[in-house]
Amino acid sequence: MAVAGGALVVARRRQAGGKRSRSSRGGPPRIPLRELVRFREQQWFLEELENARDGDPNSMLRLAKMYLYGQGCERSINIAQEWLRRARAGGVYCTLDELFTAEDLDAIRRQSRSGTAERQQHQQLERRQHHGQYSSHGISNNTSERR
């Protein structure tokens, strides 16, 4: 009887295209790993937030690092600095630079340099546009020509 039942299941699978689905085995549907990791990070973040609010300076330090890297929350250096300040007030001595890895510091420096270059280019463009407005109206920026 078991063999006949097993043969029936195999025959049905072949008729259905030969593909196995998770639900056909009776198990829960699969959750993508990325979503599972994100969910666990958010749970961990909430646990650390609760402990930090209860006054645990080590949780405050971990929370600062989570904000710094955006683990379980939106990335915010300002909030990370605040939690780090509270951790130091609680007796944990650590600086924001110590929370960064060498690769992180290099990436931040590169981003800062590129952001500075972009701001300079934007300012130059604004100056050109501003100068173009004066020249299009027949007004000169040169004070000697105005007199």
User: Is 18 within a domain?
Assistant: no
Q: Mean pLDDT throughout 3-18?
A: 46
Cβ proximity of 20 and 13 under 8 Å = yes
Q: Residue 99 has what pLDDT? A: 78
On whether the CB atoms of residues 73 and 66 are closer than 8 A, the answer is: yes
Residue 62 to residue 80: CA distance in whole angstroms: 9
| DSSP helix/strand/coil, 76 | coil
Indicate whether 24 belongs to any domain.
no
Q: How does residue 88 score in pLDDT terms, banded at 50, 70 and 90? A: very high
Q: Count of domains in the chain?
A: 2
| Domain span at 124 | 101-139
pLDDT of residue 145: 47
Q: What is the mean pLDDT of residues 50-67?
A: 95
Task: Note whether 75 and 113 are same-domain residues.
Answer: no
User: Do residues 58 and 76 share a domain?
Assistant: yes
**Exposure class string for 90-106: b at 16+ Cβ within 10 A, else e:** eebeeeeeebbeeeeee
